[in-house]
């Protein structure tokens, strides 16, 4: 629909759009196709009071420490897993010396 074909003497009204990225409300003039006004989206507060923020902050420190400990233990176990894989492949290579080596990921291309 073209807006210049409206009834003579009538002024087209502004329409409201909501930005899909930031959720801001934009008032657009259809005649000039310009943004006349905008209203930013108000984000809700993360914490209603200071005590809940402090409680959450302390909980995050414990969670980070637990994640670090878990990562450290996995890293220590990773070396054991690699050693076992190496020993198994070495044993297979000694049992079948004529067998070609296993293909690596980069060999498939």
Distance of CA 89 to the CA centre of its chain: 39
Q: Rounded CA gap, 14 and 3, in Å?
A: 12
Find the mean pLDDT for residues 39-43.
Answer: 88
* Distance (Å) of CA 93 to CA 19, 28, 73, 87: 63, 74, 31, 10
* pLDDT at residue 2 is higher than 60: no
What is the predicted pLDDT for the residue at 71?
A: 92
Phi/psi region, residue 83 (left: phi>0; alpha: psi -120 to 50; beta: rest), is alpha
Q: What is the pLDDT of residues 59-95, one digit of tens each?
A: 888 899 999 999 998 888 888 888 999 999 899 889 9
Run of H or E residues at 50: helix 50-95
- State the pLDDT confidence band at 54, using cuts at 50, 70 and 90: confident
What is the predicted pLDDT for the residue at 5?
A: 47
CB 5 within 8 A of CB 30: no
Global pTM value: 0.34
* pLDDT at residue 1 is higher than 50: no
CB 65 within 8 A of CB 54: no
CB hemisphere CA count around 15 (13 angstroms) = 7
Domain boundaries, the chain: 3-39, 44-92
Run of H or E residues at 25: strand 25-29
């Amino acid at each position: 629909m073209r807006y210049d074909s409206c009834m003579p003497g009538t002024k087209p009204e502004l329409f409201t759009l909501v930005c899909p990225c930031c959720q801001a409300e934009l008032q657009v003039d259809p005649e000039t196709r310009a943004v006349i006004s905008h209203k930013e989206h108000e984000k809700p507060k993360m914490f209603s009071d200071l005590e809940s923020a402090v409680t959450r902050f302390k909980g995050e420190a414990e969670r980070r420490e637990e994640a670090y400990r878990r990562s450290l233990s996995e890293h220590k176990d990773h070396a054991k897993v690699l050693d076992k894989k190496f020993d198994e492949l070495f044993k297979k290579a000694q049992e079948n010396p004529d067998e070609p080596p296993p293909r690596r990921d980069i060999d498939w291309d």
